[in-house]
Amino acid sequence: MKGLLSLFIVLFTVNSWSQNVKEYDLYVSDTIVNYTGKKVKGIAINGSIPAPTLHFTEGDTAVIRVHNKMHHETSIHWHGLLLPNEQDGVPYLTTAPIKGMSTHTYKFPIKQSGTYWYHSHTMLQEQNGMYGAFIIHKKEEAPMPEYTMLLSDWTDANPHEIERSLHKANDWYAIKKGATQNYAEAIGKGHFKTKLTNEWKRMHAMDVSDVYYERFFVNGKTEDQAPQFKPGEKVRVRVINGSASTYFWINYAGGKIDVVASDGMDVQPVPVDRFIVGVSETYDIIVTIPEKGNAFELVATAEDRTGQASLWLGSGLKQLQQPLPKLKYFEGMKMMNDMMTVGGNMKDMGMNMSLQQMDMNAVMYPEITGKEQPKMSTAMPDMSQHDHGQHGGTNPDIVTLNYAMLKSPVKTNLPDGPVRTLHFELTGNMNRYVWTLNNKTISESDKVLIKKGENIRIVITNNSMMRHPMHLHGHFFRILNGQGDYAPLKNVLDIMPMETDTIEFHASEDYGDWYFHCHILYHMMAGMGRIFTYENSPPNPQLPDPKKALKMVYNDDRRYYFSAEVGLESNGSDGEMRLENTRNFFDVEWRLGLDKKSGYETEAHFGRYLDKNQYLSVYTGFDFRYHNSLERSKNLFGQISTQDQRAVACIGIIYQLPWLVNADMRLDHEGKARLQFTRKDIPVTERLRLWGSWNTDFEYSVGSRYILTKYWSLSAHYDSDMGLGGGLVLTY
Amino acid sequence: MKTIQNIFLALVATFFFTGCDAQIKNPKTETVKVYGNCGMCKRTIEKAANERGIVKANWDIDSDMLTVTYDQTKTNTDAILKKVAYAGYDSDSYRAPDEAYKNLPECCQYDRPVKAIAMAENPSQHQGHNMTADMPQNNDVLGAIYSHYFAVKDALIKSDGKTAAAKATALNKAITAIPMDKLKPAQHTIWMKIQNDLKTDAEHISETNDVKHQRDHFASLSESLYTLAKSAPNGNTIYYQKCPMYNDGKGAFWLSQENTIKNPYYGSAMLTCGSTVETLKP
């Protein structure tokens, strides 16, 4: 009898448990897509980009089988979910990578509700289309019409090629965006001094994002339709930013927007006119379909305003939202000049900035600060104001959401425990695309040890020139935003330049490694993050060789990027090839003349950047040169070159001076010294670049380059050894 | 030499003619309604719709009909009408953004098929719980003051003296038009106290296009209005904000409907400089 009873109990439990298991099969495959008229590679899940939306109810157990139908490995990370460490899906760090043609099963209990998403955490696969919505419904949820708005960015370019270009500071994307901020444009807009100061402070063209995207998507489409909603209905829209590197502004043509949740966690409803969704953030909003036979545009505009994607709510005559006007880059540049010291640090001019409350970028928003005034208008204010008064119109206060406005509906105080405070400074070097925390990449720093039961408080200061969406895996943190006990819970913190924010979280997990990183894909891959690791974690069965696995994680930001500039001109060829990573570089330079008199010269170097801003580097290398000339000229230091043919070893030091001039001082083993000044790529017009160099051997050259395509330019230059030449330059 | 010249001329001519007579491939022609008024409308509509080698548009003033011929592999009528709507013109598919319509020159302000759309103000009903019964009445009475004040402030944010003057004129009118019998006794007292100051400052702002002079008066205007806002807030939360630098470091204040700082005292140079010193809840 007793046996029967226990059997009954077992059966009953299994039965009730199995009712709550929700299973999904995800098939990951290579695919060819055509969004722009060009066929390019993408990665689809169950045949679609984005991946299918997964629905769960709080209390379910999720069983998700990921079938990798590709020949290379992949992974899936469940963004914002609280789950056992080995289910987190960061390959090599928490979970085994899913090898080509194999299946991996994830299984974890669903302990929360709200709007989340999932994406690949392997290299740049997220940019290729591997993202999908992960919706968890509350157990007893009042039924309400709802719609998921998954945002993403699409480029036809190979993401690895984008990454390489970013590290090379190739300005092709700026050309495509019309954001080169060249001297001709600066003069035309009366901002010549602004541009000069900007370059004096060693900054290249400024922008709010790095990559040029061909398309922006709502649920994989430029325009998505949701005609099913009736007039007067309130609709919960789950906004997920699944893009690789694009922030989106959200505006609604049908009136106010109520923000009711962020990163899956409820907040007290806040009515706003617009808000920005950081990369990887989610917001739940409620909008009303006004009482007319209309469809209303809910529009997501890329922060750099190069494009937008819309969701149409309701049916009928389509009410468009006024598009956001183009950014006033030179105003932003002026602001940057004020904030940046010549030493390369950001200063906040005594303002304590935090929680997105002071958007410095607002100086670039014409809808707030007025239209860009042509240069003439400053001289003739009456005329310009006449024009302005007619077109500017009245602009009632636009209410923009910021973090200080988020308030949790319930108390969020952390459980008692020892408090430990960490300070993270976000640091970066835009010119070389180095992104770090406290000036160290993930691979250069130790894991941060934490203990279960501890409360970790992090004070984050952004001392870089860009905003960063910092994401913590497997935990929610409180943003200390002045709401006291009701501080909102989030797992992504967008932090703008010069801001300081404080977040805190309870070390509530039992074990494992948890990533904390910038969610801009290309920043993460450059090493902008840290790993939190619980003390005394047991070995992870998914990673049988933990040392090797960790090396794989670290390899992401240790990679070398190749670049080259090869000139083929009528007077010979010069060029340079470089291989560089976060700190080191190898380079080979050459100049080949067409006759014996002009001869040839090659230099090869290995060097290392030393300081935080990477203005300073040292190198060692060797040179070969041959030229058959009878002239024996003294250099500036009174030394005479004695041989036509030389092979020397050398050491040198390079320092980047204001106005982006590189000073290169070198000494060879025969004791001969040379100091050379070089300035490359002065942006004269959108596509015209000037450059020049001079050294103490009295060699000099000046040249110009007209950019035709991403890789090819027309060029002409004069060289003191080789004379005048013209031809083509390949920039890779 | 002559031959080269001829070839060159021939080439130029070819380019010229192909440029002018860009044939639209895969053509499809459709005629749709686009609402408009005048010859200027015609130019704007066609300019918005035309795309070299892809779309050729012709709008007829009398019938309000737009005839488009386009390359059907590259675009469609819907996309063309969207561009036309962004330029300010309604069709039966798209209603232009109100702002785009307002920006049209006066002669082009055609009769819109759908005049106005009622916007949803507060999608979730949690708002306005704590409003007392007589609050809305006060809002109606003083609401005009606040909205004109904010309009002046927005003009100053943009350093737009002309608009600021126009808005101040409206503010001045609104001040005069306040029906004092509808104010509560306490507010009545405050109103009597500040009324003249408000009027003086509004007049000064309205009488000049000099932004500097306007800002001087805006500073005192803001302080007067603050005393009113403290006793009779309007329907929404008002943020009392401070610019620490104005007036040689003595500082100046202003009222805003949002917590984010948009400083009206310096234009874009110091746009986000300042802080919220008090939050006035309704």
Q: Report the percent of chain B where pLDDT is more than 70.
A: 81
**CA–CA dist A248, A251 (Å, integer):** 10
- Least Cα distance to A51 among A78, A71, A72, A73 occurs for A78
SS3 breakdown of chain A: % helix, strand, coil, rounded to 5?
A: 15, 45, 40
Residue B243 with chain A: CB contacts under 8 Å: none
Neighbours of A634 (CB within 10 A): 11
For residue A94, name the pLDDT band (cuts at 50, 70, 90).
Answer: very high
pLDDT > 50? residue B137: no
- Least Cα distance to A668 among A638, A700, A641, A636 occurs for A641
pLDDT > 80? residue B68: yes
Looking at residues A230-257, what average pLDDT do you find?
93
- Residue A23, CA atoms < 13 Å, CB-side half-sphere: 5
Of the listed ranges A5-19, A372-386, B146-160, the one predicted with least confidence: A372-386
Partners of A694 in beta bridges: A677, A700
Helices (H), A327-440: 329-339, 366-369, 376-379, 381-392
Contact B103 A391 (CB under 8 A): yes
**CA–CA dist A419, A638 (Å, integer):** 65
For residue A325, name the pLDDT band (cuts at 50, 70, 90).
Answer: confident
Contact A362 B257 (CB under 8 A): no
- Least Cα distance to A636 among A580, A663, A674, A593 occurs for A674
Of the listed ranges A259-273, A611-625, B106-120, the one predicted with least confidence: B106-120
**CA–CA dist B38, B64 (Å, integer):** 10
Contact B147 A396 (CB under 8 A): yes
pLDDT > 90? residue A543: yes
**CA–CA dist B195, B142 (Å, integer):** 12
For residue B60 the two structure tokens come to 């007829």
**Residue A571 DSSP one-character state:** T
Residue of A nearest to B149 (CA): A396
Of the listed ranges A419-428, A471-480, A672-681, B258-267, the one predicted with least confidence: B258-267
- CATH 2.40.160-classified regions of chain A: 561-731
3 state DSSP class of A312? strand
CATH architecture of A19-134: Sandwich (2.60)
pLDDT > 50? residue A634: yes
Residue of B nearest to A405 (CA): B259
Substitution target in A236, A324, A395 with the highest count of B β-carbons within 10 Å is A395
- Least Cα distance to A216 among A191, A248, A179 occurs for A248
The closest CB to that of B272, out of A268, A359, A397, belongs to: A359
Which of A137-141, A296-300, B35-39, B147-151 is the most confident on average? A296-300
Give pLDDT, residue A200.
Answer: 85
Element housing A183 (H / E)? helix A183-188
For residue B123 the two structure tokens come to 């999608």
B54 part of contact set with chain A, CB < 8 Å: no
For residue A724 the two structure tokens come to 């005048």
Of the listed ranges A323-337, A363-377, B17-31, the one predicted with least confidence: A363-377
Give pLDDT, residue A464.
Answer: 87
Give pLDDT, residue A150.
Answer: 97
B87 backbone dihedrals φ, ψ, rounded to 5°: -80, -5
Residue B161 with chain A: CB contacts under 8 Å: 381, 385
Residue identified by tokens 């592999």 is: B73
> Is the torsion defined by CA of A635, A640, A646, A652 positive or negative?
negative
For residue A90 the two structure tokens come to 């960061």
Residue of B nearest to A337 (CA): B269
For residue B104, name the pLDDT band (cuts at 50, 70, 90).
Answer: confident
| Range B174-183 burial, b when 16+ CB lie within 10 A, else e | bbeebeeeeb
**CA–CA dist A298, A300 (Å, integer):** 7
Of the listed ranges A352-361, B62-71, B232-241, the one predicted with least confidence: A352-361
Substitution target in A189, A298, A310, A358 with the highest count of B β-carbons within 10 Å is A358
Please spell the DSSP secondary structure of chain B, one letter per residue: -HHHHHHHHHHHHHHHHHHHT-PPSSEEEEEEEB---SHHHHHHHHHHH-BTTTEEEEEETTTTEEEEEEETTT--HHHHHHHHHHTT--BSSEEPPHHHHHTS-GGG-PPPSS---PPBS-SSTTTTTT--TTHHHHHHHHHHHHHHHHHHHHHHHTT-HHHHHHHHHHHHHHHHT--GGGS-HHHHHHHHHHHHHHHHHHHHHHT---HHHHHHHHHHHHHHHHHHHHHS--SS-EEEEEESSHHHHT-EEEEESSSS---TTTGGGGTT--EEEEEE--
For residue A4 the two structure tokens come to 């029967």
Looking at residues A283-302, what average pLDDT do you find?
90
3 state DSSP class of A575? strand
Question: Residue A249 in contact with residue A276, Cβ under 8 Å?
Answer: yes
* ipTM of this predicted structure: 0.80
Fold of the CATH domain A215-319: Immunoglobulin-like (2.60.40)
**CA–CA dist B60, B66 (Å, integer):** 6
Q: Distance from A365 to chain B by nearest Cα, in Å?
A: 10
Looking at residues A243-248, what average pLDDT do you find?
96
CATH architecture of A410-553: Sandwich (2.60)
Question: Residue A527 in contact with residue A493, Cβ under 8 Å?
Answer: no
3 state DSSP class of A166? helix
pLDDT > 70? residue A330: yes
Give pLDDT, residue A342.
Answer: 66
- Least Cα distance to A319 among B102, B105, B116, B80 occurs for B116
**CA–CA dist A255, A296 (Å, integer):** 9
A467 backbone dihedrals φ, ψ, rounded to 5°: -85, 150
**Residue A613 DSSP one-character state:** T
pLDDT > 60? residue B277: yes
Question: Residue A301 in contact with residue A324, Cβ under 8 Å?
Answer: yes
For residue A256 the two structure tokens come to 């106010």
Of the listed ranges A431-440, A570-579, B193-202, B241-250, the one predicted with least confidence: B241-250
Q: Distance from B118 to chain A by nearest Cα, in Å?
A: 6
Q: Report the percent of chain A where pLDDT is more than 70.
A: 90
What are the tens digits of pLDDT across the range A513-537? 999 999 999 999 999 999 999 999 9
pLDDT averaged over every residue in chain A: 87
Q: Which residue ranges form the domains of chain B, and what is each CATH number?
A: 24-108 (3.30.70.100), 135-280 (1.20.120)
For residue A226, name the pLDDT band (cuts at 50, 70, 90).
Answer: very high
Radius of gyration over alpha carbons of chain A, in Å?
29
- CATH 2.60.40.420-classified regions of chain A: 19-134, 215-319, 410-553
| Range A48-58 burial, b when 16+ CB lie within 10 A, else e | ebbbebbebbb
Residue B119 with chain A: CB contacts under 8 Å: 254-256, 290
Neighbours of A148 (CB within 10 A): 24
Residue of B nearest to A369 (CA): B158
Instruction: Give contacts of B 121-160 with A, CB under 8 A.
Output: 121-124, 126-127, 147, 150-151, 154-155, 157-160
Contact A392 B158 (CB under 8 A): yes
**Residue A553 DSSP one-character state:** H
pLDDT > 90? residue B109: no
Give pLDDT, residue B6.
Answer: 64
Question: Residue A237 in contact with residue A297, Cβ under 8 Å?
Answer: no
Partners of A267 in beta bridges: none
What are the tens digits of pLDDT across the range A451-479? 999 999 999 999 888 899 999 999 999 99
Give pLDDT, residue A533.
Answer: 96
Give pLDDT, residue B143.
Answer: 79
Give pLDDT, residue A349.
Answer: 57
pLDDT > 90? residue A46: yes
Give pLDDT, residue A643.
Answer: 62
Neighbours of A382 (CB within 10 A): 11
For residue A693, name the pLDDT band (cuts at 50, 70, 90).
Answer: very high
Give pLDDT, residue A540.
Answer: 94
Residue B269 with chain A: CB contacts under 8 Å: 334
* For helices B211-231 and B185-206, angle between their N-to-C axes, nearest 10 degrees: 170
Q: Distance from B100 to chain A by nearest Cα, in Å?
A: 7
Looking at residues B28-34, what average pLDDT do you find?
91
Q: How far is CA B282 from the centre of its chain?
A: 26
Q: Could you give the maximum distance between any two Cα atoms of chain B, in Å? A: 97
For residue A7, name the pLDDT band (cuts at 50, 70, 90).
Answer: very low
pLDDT > 70? residue A5: no
For residue B7, name the pLDDT band (cuts at 50, 70, 90).
Answer: low
CATH architecture of A561-731: Beta Barrel (2.40)
What are the tens digits of pLDDT across the range A140-156? 878 889 999 999 999 99
For residue A381, name the pLDDT band (cuts at 50, 70, 90).
Answer: very low
Contact B159 A370 (CB under 8 A): yes
Neighbours of A703 (CB within 10 A): 22
**CA–CA dist A33, A16 (Å, integer):** 43
Give pLDDT, residue A219.
Answer: 97
Give pLDDT, residue B177.
Answer: 82
Residue type present at position A406:
L
* For helices B161-176 and B211-231, angle between their N-to-C axes, nearest 10 degrees: 40
Neighbours of A635 (CB within 10 A): 17
Looking at residues A617-629, what average pLDDT do you find?
85
Give pLDDT, residue A395.
Answer: 45
For residue B247, name the pLDDT band (cuts at 50, 70, 90).
Answer: confident
Contact A368 B157 (CB under 8 A): yes
The closest CB to that of B158, out of A256, A370, A382, belongs to: A370
